[in-house]
């Protein structure tokens, strides 16, 4: 096995062992899962898969960054989220036996580990603890979607902009980033506006207002968050 392959395999086994889906299972179980897949490389700007594609595999993001988006029947594209290492992706369609529900684009050179759908499902059938972990992950995903709907119902656009800023720069809304956190340069104004559920023009006006009030600042084409507490208050957190 080439050295780079051994290095990636070692990193994968460590990442899988720490993955919440595999919480409580022996390290050997993660190693068994790792041995069943293979690594795939995607250059920046390459799609891993498109919305509506068949779902032949489950992936695990090991290196790089990904953009998840959906397209309406009318052709309007909306950013759903950004993914960073390490995490599973693509399991929703595999478990549900449905086509891919979103498109996934590499916004940096990316390495993923991929396991065929039938092998992944067989592994779940043989490992009840992992199956329960996956169910927890699915419930969390549904909960996130429900919270997005609630934001549209109960928060005005300014509140949604503040909340999305915090979500992009923070590990979670329970663990907010420190002042000085920056938004990724790959996040375009159009994509951020779609995350907020508003037009680019209206979201830009709100960001300009936040800038005048010292909550954020535009530096070298990236937004810097200077007052996490103020944004949290606007987002009702």
d(CA 38, CA 58): 11
H helices within the chain, ranges in order?
A: 3-18, 27-34, 91-96, 117-126, 128-154, 157-169, 189-196, 200-212, 228-234
Q: What is the pLDDT of residues 150-163, one digit of tens each?
A: 998 999 999 999 99
Q: What is the pLDDT of residues 26-35, one digit of tens each?
A: 989 989 999 9
Using alpha carbons, select from 204, 225, 202 the residue that is nearest to residue 215.
225
Sheet holding 77-83, edge to edge: 47-49, 103-106, 66-71, 77-83
Q: Read off the pLDDT of each residue in 90-102 and give the average, rounded to a whole number.
A: 95
Does 75 have pLDDT greater than 70? yes
Does 2 have pLDDT greater than 80? no
Q: What is the pLDDT of residues 6-27, one digit of tens each?
A: 899 999 999 999 999 998 889 8
Enumerate domains of the chain plus CATH numbers: 3-151 (2.60.120.10), 156-234 (1.10.10.10)
pLDDT given at position 1: 60
pLDDT given at position 86: 92
Burial 126-161 (b: 16+ CB within 10 A, else e): ebeebbebbeebeeeeeeeeeebeebeeebebbbbb
Percent of the chain with pLDDT over 90: 75
Q: Average pLDDT of the chain?
A: 92
């Amino acid at each position: 096995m080439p050295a780079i392959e051994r290095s990636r395999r070692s990193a994968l086994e460590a990442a899988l062992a720490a993955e919440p889906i595999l919480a409580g299972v022996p390290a050997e179980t993660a190693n068994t899962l790792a041995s069943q897949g293979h690594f795939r490389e995607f250059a920046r700007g390459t799609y891993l898969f498109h919305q509506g594609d068949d779902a032949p595999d489950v992936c695990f993001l090991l290196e790089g960054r990904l953009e998840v988006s959906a397209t309406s029947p009318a052709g309007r594209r909306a950013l759903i989220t950004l993914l960073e290492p390490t995490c599973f992706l693509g399991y929703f369609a595999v478990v549900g036996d449905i086509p891919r529900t979103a498109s996934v684009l590499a916004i940096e050179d990316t390495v993923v580990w991929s396991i065929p759908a039938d092998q992944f499902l067989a592994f779940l059938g043989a490992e009840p603890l992992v199956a329960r972990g996956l169910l927890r992950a699915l419930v969390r995903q549904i909960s996130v979607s429900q919270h997005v709907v609630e934001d549209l119902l109960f928060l005005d656009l300014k509140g949604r902009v503040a909340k999305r800023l915090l979500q992009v720069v923070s590990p979670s809304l329970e663990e907010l980033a420190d002042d000085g956190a920056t938004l990724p340069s790959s996040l375009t104004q159009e994509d951020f506006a779609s995350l907020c559920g508003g037009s680019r023009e209206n979201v830009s006006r709100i960001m300009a207002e936040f800038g005048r009030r010292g909550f954020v600042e535009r530096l070298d084409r990236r937004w810097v968050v200077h007052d996490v507490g103020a944004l949290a208050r606007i987002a009702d957190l």
